Structure 1
Amino acid sequence: MDTTYSTPSPAPQAASTSEAGVIRPGRAPGRAGNSVFTALSYGAGVIIMGLLALVTAFLVYRALPALTASAQDLEGVSFMRGRDLWGYVAPLVFGTLLSSLLALAVAVPLSIGVALFISHFAPRRLAQGLGYLVDLLAAVPSVVFGLWGFLWLMPLLDPFYTWLSQGPLGFVPLFSGYTAPAKNIMTASLVLAVMILPIITATVREVFLQTPTLHQEASLALGATRYEMIRQAVLPYARSGIVSASMLGLGRALGETMAVLMIMSPGMTTSLHLLQAGRHQTIAANIAAQFREAFGLSVDVLIATGLVLFIITFVVNSLARWVVARRGAVYGGVGRAGRRRRA
């Protein structure tokens, strides 16, 4: 019986590099493009860090003359009115934090309610329209909000402030001593609340929409009402997102200038009388009001107050990023939990 042996065919040779469209062995396609993209990405990150370092260095360098100036030198700064530097900065920090926290206290509950209505209650077309309106509200210039607050909101609030001050709550220091017009920190805070409302609403809405559908359906299947489902499934899942959105809104309120400058009558006290005009001032509005006629050491003093505002804003935004990373919520990136899953 004849046995036939098959001769193994030779292994295919690598194609010549001269042939068009043939990839050379050992070289992955697009490697050069990946290298360029990686270099550009690293370069963009370095540029951002470099800009932040340059801004910090500029503020510190220009603020040093004011930080190291003697009390005698600071007496020549007219708007300080005989105060030392920290005695001048403290009321500004107080007014900035107070107005921002009041705005946050008003805006956060409203934002959560609007976001819940858009994401879980409104019909699809109505939800889309409201979403567009919220995004459009975020693009309105601050000077427009200032005009709205000055020409419409202040006259509207005057009777209400009068009732608070002279009515049953008049004995409370927060509401006592009101005199028209309503150019006080409370009115400015309400305008700030309207300004940060779309930022918080848009962020919280996206977090609500990311709630797993299975969690919501399981809650409803167990007999929960829609309110109970939101309280048990949606809000716990979105807690970290609500915190981070609130921090972002707070960062916007801290740096707002024009609306506060147009509405609030300035003062340099640390008073808790919310309805009295001429009691409070914010850092950003004070810089805008004084910078035009400042010169010499006066400019350095204003830049020093700007450095304080920069530090406060940086701390607030860093805290927001820390909350996002700790809870695994997503806003402009992935949190720690998301990075683990992706890895």
Structure 2
Amino acid sequence: MTTATEKPAAKRQPSQLVSRGFGRYADRIFSGFLIVSGFMVLLVLAAMVLRTTLDAYPVFEYQGFFNFLFGTEWRAGFNRNEFSGTYGAWPFIFGTLFTATIAVSFALPLAIAVSLYINFYAPRRLRTAMSYSVEILAAVPSIIFGLWGLLWFVPNVLHPFSRWVASTVGEVIPWLGGPVPNTNYFHASVVLGIMILPIITAITREVMATTPPDEIQAGYGLGATKQEVLAKVVLPRSFGGIVGATMLGLGRALGETIAVLMLIGSSQKVGERLFDTGDTLAAHIAATFQDAAPETLTALLGIGVVLFIVTMIVNVIARLIVWRFARSASAGDAL
């Protein structure tokens, strides 16, 4: 029998040791899941590279790896069990690097300018609308850009401009002269630059938005103008992110297929002028894969391996640039 002064027994709470023990197991399970997920990415990449390389090895053995890389003649054979053609991938490697370089050179300054305007100049309502527009453009399929470029942008804008450049500047600089076909390196590069512009802009804008406000205000406090703050505070702070965004855009430019296939001309030779027709690694695979003979399919797999190598080299260079900048910035902070 309980008295009025006695209190009901409190409900037993789980001990902290039990909860901590469960938390430790949950942390281990979650950490293990993350580790497995990370290694799965490496495993899938390694499987793709290894399988493609093994399948392409016969053409490297037949042609010679460096002859395959730097050969300038691509003459596909039609045999099933042996090689009879000549396979030199340099025209496609050159076209890939050339168009991607022009595209990034065109897109990067515009991306930085648009990002600065959205973050530091645009009114709030316009800023939101422009941010959404950039993100929507980044999701537009490449075939839409290709059709727009082929049917409207090239005939109405780029082709008249290219002919004017060839007829005026081309007389002084032969590299810019000569006949101007509808499809060529320059037209494909500009449309490719417009394609990667939203990707670079979206990431660059986000990186610039993370600049610490205290550093910006400190710049103003030292008497710097807005342009000086952007040039000496925001851009140096955002350099690593801008390089990463540029490499992401460059990666898409290197691997772009349909839009480039529509606009570059599909010529299996190294162009000597800006307005010459050409081809890229990915575009050549897409153009010839379906009707290729077995030996040519093996050669196209070799092109795929080369595209892997080019992409990896570009990413390693990007990592080295970011690491070098981070090291220099850390040394400057230490001083």
TM-score (norm 1): 0.82
Counterpart amino acid of residue 39 in structure 1: G
SS across alignment from 1:177: coil
Q: Could you tell me whether the CA contact under 8 Å between 1:173 and 1:272 is conserved in 2?
A: no
Q: Could you tell me whether the CA contact under 8 Å between 2:169 and 2:177 is conserved in 1?
A: no
Match of 1:306 among 301, 304, 307: 304
Higher-RCO chain (CA-CA 8 Å, sequence separation at least 6): 2
Structure 2 residue aligned with 1:296 = 294
Counterpart amino acid of residue 178 in structure 2: G
Q: For structure 1, which segment, 183-192 or 260-269, has the greater mean C-alpha deviation from structure 2 after superposition? A: 260-269
Q: Could you tell me whether the CA contact under 8 Å between 1:257 and 1:284 is conserved in 2?
A: yes
Q: For the structure 1 residues 254 and 25, does the alpha-carbon distance in structure 2 shift closer, same or farther, using more than 3 Å as the test?
A: closer
Cα separation, 2, equivalents of 1:70 and 1:50: 30
Structure 2 residue aligned with 1:14 = none
Q: Could you tell me whether the CA contact under 8 Å between 2:77 and 2:293 is conserved in 1?
A: no
Cα separation, 1, equivalents of 2:37 and 2:169: 59
Shift in Å, 1:190:
0.5
Structure 1 residue aligned with 2:199 = 199
Q: For the structure 1 residues 26 and 269, does the alpha-carbon distance in structure 2 shift closer, same or farther, using more than 3 Å as the test?
A: closer
Shift in Å, 1:69:
1.7
Cα separation, 2, equivalents of 1:75 and 1:207: 47
Cα separation, 2, equivalents of 1:212 and 1:75: 57
Residue 40 (structure 2) pairs with residue 47 (structure 1) = yes
Counterpart amino acid of residue 31 in structure 2: T
Q: Could you tell me whether the CA contact under 8 Å between 1:248 and 1:320 is conserved in 2?
A: no
Cα separation, 2, equivalents of 1:83 and 1:102: 32
Shift in Å, 1:25:
6.4
Q: For structure 1, which segment, 149-158 or 317-326, has the greater mean C-alpha deviation from structure 2 after superposition? A: 317-326
Cα separation, 2, equivalents of 1:76 and 1:151: 31
Q: Could you tell me whether the CA contact under 8 Å between 2:76 and 2:86 is conserved in 1?
A: no
Shift in Å, 1:320:
2.5
Structure 2 residue aligned with 1:319 = 317
Q: Could you tell me whether the CA contact under 8 Å between 2:76 and 2:85 is conserved in 1?
A: no
Spell out, residue by residue over 1:211-246, the C-alpha distance to the aligned partner (whole angstroms, 9 max, x if none).
Answer: 221222122222222112111211222222222221
Q: For the structure 1 residues 257 and 304, does the alpha-carbon distance in structure 2 shift closer, same or farther, using more than 3 Å as the test?
A: same
Shift in Å, 1:59:
1.1
Structure 2 residue aligned with 1:158 = 159
After superposition, residues 1-343 of structure 1 pair within 5 angstroms as 21-24=14-17, 27-69=20-62, 77=77, 84-85=86-87, 88-156=88-156, 157-180=158-181, 182-276=182-276, 279-328=277-326
Cα separation, 2, equivalents of 1:225 and 1:26: 56
Structure 1, unaligned runs of 5 or more: 1-18, 330-335, 338-343
Shift in Å, 1:295:
2.6
SS across alignment from 1:215: helix
Counterpart amino acid of residue 174 in structure 2: P
Cα separation, 1, equivalents of 2:141 and 2:187: 18
SS across alignment from 1:30: helix
Structure 2, unaligned runs of 5 or more: 1-11, 65-73, 79-83, 331-335
Cα separation, 2, equivalents of 1:83 and 1:220: 66
Spell out, residue by residue over 1:278-334, the C-alpha distance to the aligned partner (whole angstroms, 9 max, x if none).
Answer: x311000000001001131111100001100011112212332343444449xxxxx
Q: How many aligned residue pairs are there?
A: 304
Greater per-residue helix proportion: 2
SS across alignment from 1:271: coil
Cα separation, 2, equivalents of 1:106 and 1:60: 34
Percent of counterpart pairs with the same letter? 39
